[in-house]
Amino acid sequence: MSSIVLSPFNQTCYQLINKYFGEIVGEVAKFLLSRRYGTLFNIKTGTGMSLWDVKRALAVLIHQNLVEFQANEQNPNIVDYSIIYHNAYCLLRYAKYLYTIKRIFGSSEEVLIEILLNIGQASASNVIFHSANKLNKAIDDIKVINPSDLYQSFQKLAANNFIIRCPKIEIVENMPKLLEFEEKDKFIVPQLEMEPIAKLLREKATQIGEHSDSEIIWRVNHQRFEVELRNVILVNAAARRVDETTGKLYHLILKLWREANPTEARVSNAVSYTLVKDAVRKNDGGSPMLMEHFDQYLRVLYEDSTGLISRVGDSGGGQFAVNYADVFENFACSILDSVVLERFGSKKALRIFRLTRMQKFMTDQDQMQKLAMVSPKDAKTLSYKLMKEGFLQLHEQKKATSNVGPVKSFNLFYVNLPEVVRGVLETSYKCVSNALERQAHDLTVNKCLLERHADFENILEQLRGEDAPDNEIAEFSDSMTVADKELVAKVLKLCDRLKLVPIQADETILILENYLKFHSMP
């Protein structure tokens, strides 16, 4: 399996699965990532693993919503397994999910999501029971958490579509089939009796056992979290363009757009001036300044060049919508400009790239050097480098001539924005993959040293807790050499920096993915 070469995106997915679920599960995932799908026999043969290990790994992947299955087209008695690519990559965003839920709702809802992410799929009663146990341990059993409060929190998460019901499995003609629920039924939480759960908590039980909703299974709704993360990017952009109050106004308008748009579209439905002002008035306690200067803040938003808000009508004081395709195109262009400047280290290259993108076509290098105000030598050199790296494309245009004589043609430079974005997206995936691989390598190479340092710190803390004499503490502290301490500090500092790389790169990836998604919509 080590000889299999994966694309940067698939390699990132493999490393994330390998990191969180171990090598056995990782090898099965790697096979499916390279083949897209496979039967139980194919996976066993391709990985060289025992049938028991393959079955166990597939069970983990299915339970974690990372693998789906369906009957083979040629032989319905055989099951094909395939990776859910988006869910595998979303392992990187779990920390952001928890922060998002805590910011919107609070700690109880955060614990519910954390438990559901750890389990993968579970009933509401199971999630509530384990969440209550976790919260009880956190408060040192001073009081028992009321599961009814967690049940209400679970209902909030379902009502806001952050969790969703899993399809029901039914046996049809001796074959398992997934039966999807209707849209309105996917987010309805059944009525549950909390007294049996409260009794188990009082008895310090560790397992919930049989319960009434054991066949109603829930999972995290990645699409809803992606919308929320996208909204955070938009709100932060509005705040950076003007100020924090503008960000708050844009956050309120995004809520109205979400209520007016049950499904995602390239352009949102319009909301009226009156509706926006009513929403601000209801939220007046959050920012009195926003209500006082509402008209000015709204005008700044829809007149801004980034297109965060578009005015699409004048009825009812004005109609406002957002063209997601245009907004994320502006964001993507900004990212590409930064990449060009960073990669080529020249503002001249940036001017050439930006002007070519804005002009749609550049007739020749003479026009390029005049518009970009660069020398003929720089125009030739930089245009060649930009073409070589895939930031510029060349289109050959034939001149209209008579049938007699050679056909004349000239070249046009242009920017194929979706293609350039895909190239930068691949680079971003590779950046995440390299950071994960280097982090795993450093931790493996220095494993013995880090374990020894952890034991050293634990014993040192224990001595301090026991009020040991200072000379004994100092003597033990000197048992680890200065060189080892410096090496441990260096390794931990590097790992901390490497942990930040995927998180920071993911924001760029999210913007570029949303650009491609909305650009492809009709």
Give per-residue pLDDT as tens, 167-183: 887 777 666 677 778 87
Among 61, 149, 67, CA closest to 112: 149
pLDDT band at 393 (very low <50, low <70, confident <90, very high): confident
Res 469: pLDDT:
81
Q: What is the arrangement of strands in the sheet containing 319-321, beginning at the earlier edge strand?
A: 271-272, 319-321, 310-313
Mean pLDDT score, 132-147: 77
Res 15: pLDDT:
94
Res 454: pLDDT:
86
Please state, as a whole number, how many other Cβ atoms lie within 10 Å of the Cβ of residue 487: 15
Res 51: pLDDT:
94
Q: Which residues of 335-349 are buried (b: 16+ CB within 10 A; e: fewer)?
A: bbeebbeeebebebb
Q: Reduce the DSSP state of residue 170 to 3 states and report it.
A: strand
- Residue tagged 């046996």 (tokens): 171
Among 216, 95, 210, 212, CA closest to 158: 216
d(CA 67, CA 61): 5
CB 124 within 8 A of CB 151: yes
Mean pLDDT score, 117-140: 89
d(CA 11, CA 89): 10
Tokens at residue 318, please? 């004005």
Of 165 and 73, the structure prediction assigns the larger pLDDT to: 165
CB 290 within 8 A of CB 248: yes
Lowest-pLDDT choice from 182-186, 382-386, 399-403 = 399-403
Lowest-pLDDT choice from 214-218, 252-256, 395-399 = 395-399
Res 25: pLDDT:
95
Among 469, 368, 442, CA closest to 411: 368
Averaged pLDDT of the chain: 87
Instruction: Work out the percent of the chain whose per-residue pLDDT is above 70.
Output: 93
Lowest-pLDDT choice from 154-158, 467-471, 482-486 = 467-471
Res 315: pLDDT:
80
Tens-place pLDDT, residues 407-420: 566 778 889 999 99
Tell me, letter by letter, the H, E, C secondary structure of 169-185: EEEECCEEEEECCCHHH
Tens-place pLDDT, residues 36-72: 889 999 999 999 999 999 999 999 999 999 999 888 8
Res 83: pLDDT:
95
Res 362: pLDDT:
65
Concatenate the DSSP letters of all residues of 115-171 into one string: HHHHHSSEEHHHHHHHHHHHHHHHTTTSS---HHHHHHHHHHHHHTTSEEEPPEEEE
Of 510 and 143, the structure prediction assigns the larger pLDDT to: 510
Query: At 429, which amino acid appears?
Result: Y
Mean pLDDT score, 157-163: 94
Among 103, 127, 102, 110, CA closest to 219: 127
pLDDT band at 165 (very low <50, low <70, confident <90, very high): very high
Mean pLDDT score, 363-392: 84
pTM: 0.90
Sign of CA dihedral 345, 349, 355, 361: negative
- pLDDT exceeds 50 at position 22: yes
Res 1: pLDDT:
47
CB 488 within 8 A of CB 449: yes
Mean pLDDT score, 240-266: 85
Mean pLDDT score, 384-401: 81
Res 403: pLDDT:
61
Res 358: pLDDT:
86
Mean pLDDT score, 206-215: 85
Please state, as a whole number, how many other Cβ atoms lie within 10 Å of the Cβ of residue 414: 15
Among 283, 284, 308, CA closest to 298: 308
